A and B are shown apart, each in its own frame.
Chain A
Amino acid sequence: MNSSTPNAWPRSPRRFALHLSVGAVSGFVLAALATVLIAGLSLQSMAARTVMVERVSHTLEVLQELATLMSTANDAETGQRGYLLTGTENYLEPYLAAKAALPVEVEKLAELTADDAHQHDRVETLQHLIADKIAELDHTIELRRGGDAEAALAVVRSDVGKIAMDRIRAGVAAIEGAEKMQLEQREADLRDAAVVSTRVVLFGAALLLFLIIVAAAMVSRDQAAREAIAWQREGQIGLGEKLQGDQSLQPLGERALRFLAQYLDAQAGAIYAIEEDGWLRRVAAYAPAPDAAEEKLRPGGRLIGQALKENRVLHVKDVPADYMEIGSGTGRANARELLIVPARARGIAQGVVELGFFRTLRADEREFVEHVAESLGMAFRAASDRVRLEELLEETQRQAEELQAQQEELRVSNEELEEQGRILREQRMQVESQRAELEENNAQLEEQTQALESQRDQLTSAQSVLTSKAAELERANRYKSEFLANMSHELRTPLNSTLILAGLLADNKDGNLTEGQVKFAQTIVSAGNDLLALINDILDLSKIEARQIEMQYEQISLADVVGNLRATFEPVAAQKALAFEIRVDRDVPEAISIDGQRLLQILRNLLANAFKFTEQGSVGLYLHGVAGKRIAFDVADTGIGLPEHQYEIIFEAFRQADGSTHRQYGGTGLGLSIARDLAGMLGGTIEVSSKVGQGSTFTLTVPESGDFAANADPAAPVQPPKRAVPVLLPASGPVETQVRLEEKSAGAARRGPPARRVLIIESDSAFARTLCELAHDAGFECHVTHTASEGLAAAVSYAPSGIVLDLNFPDRAGLGVLDQLKHDPRTRHIPVHVLSPADHEQEALALGAAGYALKPAQREQLIEAFRGLDRKFSQTLRRVLVVEDDDQQRDSIRRLLGSDDTEITGVAGAEAALQELRRTTFDCVVMDLNLPDMSGLELLEQMASQDEISFPPVIVYTGREVSGEEEQELRRFSSSIIIKDVRSPERLLDEVTLFLHQVESRLPQESQRLLRAARNRDAALENRRILIVEDDVRNIYALSSVLESTGARLEIARNGREALDMLERSTGQRASAIDLVLMDIMMPVMDGLSAMRAIRQRSEWKRLPIIALTAKAMKDDQEVCLAAGANDYIAKPLDVEKLLSLIRVWMPKK
Chain B
Amino acid sequence: MSILGTRVLRTEDPKFLTSGGVYTEDVVDDRLDGACHVFFVRSPLAHARINSVDVSAALEAPGVVAVYTGADLADLAPIPPSAAGLINTEMQQRLLATDKTRFVGEPVAAVVTEHPYQGEDAIELVSVDYEALPAVLGFDPSDDSLLYEAAGTNVAGYWGDASSLNPELFDGCEVVVKETIINQRVAPAPMETRAAAAVWGEDGRLTAWIPNQGAQGTKAELAKLLGIDESLVRVITPDVGGAFGAKFGADPEHVVTAWVARRLGRPARWTETRYENLIAMTHGRAQQHTVTIGGSRDGNVQAYRLEIVQDAGAYPRIGAVLPMLTILMTTGPYDIPKAESVAKVVVTTTTPIGAYRGAGRPEATAAIERAIDLFAAEIGADPADVRRKNLLAPFTEPHRTAFGALYDTGDYVAALDKALDAAGYAELRKEQAQRRASGDIRQLGIGVASYVEITGMGDGEGTPPQENATVEVHPDGTATILTGTSPHGQGHATAWAMIASEELGIPIDKITLKWGDTDLIPEGGGTGGSRSLQQGGAAVQQAAQELIELARLRAAAQLEANAADLVFDKSRSAFNVAGDPDASVPLTQLAENERLLIRTVFSQPGATFPFGTHVAVVEVDTETGKTSLRRVITVDDAGTILNPLLAEGQRHGGIGQGAAQAFLEEVVYDEDGNPLTTSFADYPIVSATEVPSFELADMATPTTYNPLGAKGIGEAGSIGSTPAVQNAVVDAVAHLGVRHIDMPVTSRRVWQALQAAQPGSEQ
The judgment on whether A and B are partners is no
